[in-house]
Amino acid sequence: MPKALIIFEDGNYSNFFPLTLLRPIYFLRPGIRALFEKIIDGFIDYDPHLFCRPEISEITGEMTKCPVNHIGDSPFDEFIFVNGRIKYNRDFLSSLKSTGKNAILVSHGNILAFKIMGKLNDRQKELLNEGDLGGFLDKLKSDAETLEVELPMYDFLWDFVNNIDEEIIDDFEHFRKHSDSYGSLKNREEMKEKERVYPGVEFIGIENIYVAPDVELMPGVVIDASKGPIFIGSSVRVEPFSYLEGPLYIGKKTVVAGGKINRCSIGPVCRIWGELEATIVQGYSNKHHAGFIGHSYLGEWINLGAMTTNSDLKNNYSNVKVSVNGEPVDTGSLKVGSFIGDFTKTAIGTLLNTGINIGVVCNIVSEGLITEREIASFTWYSSRHKVPYNLVRAIETIEIAMSRRNEKLSIAFKKRLSEISHGAVGPQASIGIADSA
């Protein structure tokens, strides 16, 4: 019986700006796998589809092989819709699959998932192919049971940072269980062989360390999994005087040039040096010089100048507040760093205040601590002036930076960046499914 899985984002996507300006919520990565990958792995016998805001559907389609905002005419006999910002829970997903009736699952007003048994009628297909999940759900409510359940969800970017340890551990165990190659280092013979392959490298807790076959580990590297597992992906290079402490994920083709990296999710294709703690780097970004970044979430194609450093703890040890869409939000956490959008660059010596939120395509020059809470996208910022970043010049710089990694900025991305530069980023562009039932 053909079955369809549809992963969607709800109306809370703006809580995750600037990271969701150029991607759907479920493309965010708290551990080794992105949220949508974890959900798909839980539904291996379902045909996956993705639904997102119309304004990012084209660039989303370029980043995945899954159909985006389109269900087609495939004769599915069962449909499961899952909110892409749920915290993955095997028991919940298993119960959802085993339910033999139409159902809508809600938690504290948030729609978690809904299920349809049987084929769709023509009107339902039409609504789905128009990307109107809200209208689709309205039609379903009269023919489905609404169930209240308890399931945590990601509500803000700092939730991802706070959950790095748990997510990396869960992902590591998933790979160990489901793939023989990721389950290497199972016995003493394999451990000793790994130590022979990398002379001069110190492995601590080697049974919880995965190193891809083509990784280059140089003498003078310490890999310490005593506090959590470590996953080092394909074609990674780790240079001398690097201390890697788990839980930790280093994505493919990343270079770690030295320093202390602990409790992070990094990659792919990053250049890292210095000190990183409890930080997610989505990919293709450089922190290749000294400086500290902690309790932060960085997007793609970011370049942090030498000695760029962020504060992640207030001097009075009070909860950090973050400006989200211009409104202060109490994070409930003592340690919160920086949230930096794609294609943003900082100059040498940049100092970022606790809980700062910086948009996409910004150029940050500072002669002291930046005390602003939120810097809008496409801002050329210095301590003396703050002006809009010219779109044409910004695109030119982005294309040069991407060419250095043999990548190219697509027409769809240029269009989306143009929309953002002109302020077209607000909630008016929702896919139509509200953040409450």
Say which residues have a Cβ less than 8 Å from residue 193's Cβ, sequence separation at least 6. Answer: none
End-to-end CA distance of the chain: 30
pLDDT at 188: 43
pLDDT at 434 over 90: no
* Number of neighbouring beta carbons within 10 Å of residue 377: 24
Closest C-alpha among 346, 371, 369, 342 to residue 356: 371
Digit-coded pLDDT (tens) for 289-346: 999 999 999 999 999 999 999 999 998 999 999 999 889 999 999 999 999 999 999 9
Task: Judge contact between 109 and 437, C-beta under 8 A.
Answer: yes
- Judge whether 128 and 95 are in contact, CB under 8 Å: no
Domain ranges of the chain: 3-155, 159-421
284 with 299: CB under 8 angstroms? no
Instruction: Report the chain's mean pLDDT, rounded to a whole number.
Output: 88
Does residue 336 contact residue 355 with C-beta atoms inside 8 Å? Answer: yes
Q: Does domain 3-155 have CATH number 3.30.230.10?
A: no
Q: Are 9 and 39 in contact (CB under 8 A)?
A: no
Q: Are strands 379-381 and 386-388 parallel, antiparallel or unpaired?
A: antiparallel
What is the tens place of the pLDDT at every residue in 354-402?
A: 999 999 999 999 888 998 899 999 999 987 788 999 999 999 999 999 9
pLDDT of residue 259: 95
45-83 pLDDT per residue, tens: 899 999 999 999 999 999 999 988 888 777 788 889 999
CA distances 118 to 93, 113, 145, 190, Å, are 19, 17, 15, 50
Length of the chain: 437
Kind plus residue range of the DSSP H or E element containing 190: helix 188-197
| Alpha carbon distance 346, 374 (integer Å) | 15
pLDDT of 426 strictly over 50? no
DSSP string, 220-240: T-EEE-TTS-EEE-TT-EE-S
pLDDT band at residue 180 using 50, 70 and 90 as cut-offs: low
The CA distance from 312 to 52, in Å, is 32
Angstrom distance (rounded) from CA 222 to CA 183: 21
Question: What number of CA atoms fall less than 13 Å from residue 109's CA on the CB side?
Answer: 5
**Percent over 70 (pLDDT), the chain:** 92
**pTM metric for this prediction:** 0.90
The tokens 């379903």 sit on which residue? 140
Question: Residue 68 and residue 128: Cα distance in Å, rounded?
Answer: 11
Q: Are 47 and 5 in contact (CB under 8 A)?
A: yes
Is the predicted pLDDT of residue 132 greater than 80, yes or no? no
Instruction: For the chain, give the percent of residues with pLDDT over 90.
Output: 64
The CATH architecture to which 159-421 belongs is 3 Solenoid (2.160)
Query: Would you state the structure tokens that stand for residue 96, as one six-digit string?
Result: 């959802």
| Region at 431 (left for phi over 0; alpha for psi -120 to 50; beta for the rest) | alpha
What does the alpha-carbon distance between residue 92 and residue 42 come to, in Å, rounded to a whole number? Answer: 10
Integer Cα distance of 113 and 97 in angstroms: 11
Cα distance between residue 153 and residue 229, in whole Å: 24
Give the pLDDT score at 33: 96
pLDDT at res. 187: 43
Question: pLDDT (tens digit, 9 = 90+) per residue, 217-275?
Answer: 999 999 999 999 999 999 999 999 999 999 999 999 999 999 999 999 998 999 999 99
- Burial of 102 by CB count in 10 Å (0-12 exposed, 13-18 middle, 19+ buried)? middle
Distance of alpha carbon 249 from alpha carbon 233, whole angstroms: 8
User: Which range (122-136, 212-226, 285-299) has the least confidence?
Assistant: 122-136
Could you give the dihedral angle defined by the CA atoms of residues 267, 271, 273 and 276, in that order, rounded to the nearest 10 degrees? -20
What count of other Cβ atoms lies within 10 Å of the Cβ of residue 97? 16
Q: What is the pLDDT of residue 147?
A: 79
Looking at this protein, which amino acid is placed at residue 255? V
Mean pLDDT of 128-151: 74
CA dist 305 and 294 (Å) reads: 16
